[in-house]
Amino acid sequence: MKIQQVLKTSLACALAAWLLPVLAQAGAKDQTPEQYIAKWKEVAVRKMKEHGIPASITMAQGLLESRNGNSILAVNGNNHFGIKCTPDWTGGSIFYDDDKKNECFRKYRSADQSFEDHSKFLQRPRYANLFDLKPTDYKGWAHGLKRAGYATDPHYPQKLINLIERYQLDNLDRGVDVSYASKDATPGKATSAKPVRHPNRNDDNVVTIGNARPVELFDGRIKFVRARKGETVRDIAEEIQQMPGLVAGWNDMAKSGTLEEGQVVYIQPKRNKSKDQESCIAEKGETLWGISQRYGVKLKKLAKYNGIGIADPVQAGQKVWLRKPR
């Protein structure tokens, strides 16, 4: 009698241990794309820096393959990219009907491990040509993945591209954060896929990052923000999740430098030459660095075009070349 009671108790405990997570998952609301992006964008950016795969591609593949983190493979196997077992795979496995019935997929201890394995998986020889592309060429990566046999779906490249452009994930490749405005203030509600527009502007080239900071476009090409009172280069670098040294380099400044309120801070590299102007006239008290920031041209290039040092003074009324003189 006691043995039967023990067996019944053990069976009940085992059944509860299996059933409770299933019931909890069934009662949980599906994660939205915006929530998925907010949760994993930092990991995607980190893997981009470590392995050279555009963060936009990683995020789009994760969104698509895992259904925003809601798929059975993602929930039960932490597999966010649909990577199947291969002969060299020594980790865990989970079985799921895909192209064939009961196929073997890789199972991970954590989702972070899935992101790392995805990066290493794309370093196989058949994907080598992708790394010859520009890091911002997400369209080239999307089509290249299909050609290399990553997916059998003929529409796979366009699905990735649509996700990247809908959620502006290509900003991550350029060191710019992405965030989305809530449709209302009610906690737990879905969020809008459109970046927040700055309330005081009608310019469609202005979006926001982080704590509602406007991101503007200089000359329609180069993203920049304006410093707030008391901010440093490090403050802005932290907000856009970028290394201070990179932000400082893009602005020809020291990474420990302080900023004046309203000062332009580029959050991607300046250009080698002005898009439309050959030259400008220096204003009173202006420096070559100030001209570099005003026209979005790299300081070293300006110095070279004008045959002077980067710290040499310029005179009021002096003609300053913004591209190589003819």
Beta-carbon contacts of 46 under 8 Å, excluding residues fewer than 6 positions away, are none
In this structure, the answer to whether residues 261 and 294 fall within a common structural domain is no
**Would residue 115 count as lying in a domain?**
yes
**Would residue 198 count as lying in a domain?**
no
Walk along the chain (326 residues) and give the pLDDT tens digit of each residue: 455 554 455 554 444 444 444 444 444 467 888 899 999 999 999 999 888 999 999 999 999 999 999 999 999 999 999 899 999 889 999 998 877 888 899 999 999 999 999 999 999 999 999 998 888 899 999 999 999 998 888 899 999 999 998 888 998 988 888 876 543 333 333 333 333 323 233 334 444 444 456 788 887 678 888 888 889 999 888 888 788 888 999 999 888 878 888 889 999 999 999 888 899 998 888 899 999 999 999 999 999 999 999 888 898 889 999 999 88
Domain harbouring 126, CATH code: 1.10.530.10
Q: How many domains does the chain have?
A: 3
- How many C-beta neighbours within 10 Å does residue 99 have? 7
**Would residue 149 count as lying in a domain?**
yes
**Would residue 183 count as lying in a domain?**
no
H or E stretch at 216: strand 213-218
**Would residue 180 count as lying in a domain?**
no
**Would residue 98 count as lying in a domain?**
yes
Whole-number Å distance between alpha carbons of 155 and 282: 53
Whole-number Å distance between alpha carbons of 204 and 200: 12
In this structure, the answer to whether residues 247 and 285 fall within a common structural domain is no
At what angle are helices 138-147 and 55-66 packed, to 10 degrees?
50
Q: Is the model's pTM score more than 0.85?
A: no
H or E stretch at 144: helix 138-147
* Domain region containing 42: 30-173
In this structure, the answer to whether residues 146 and 46 fall within a common structural domain is yes
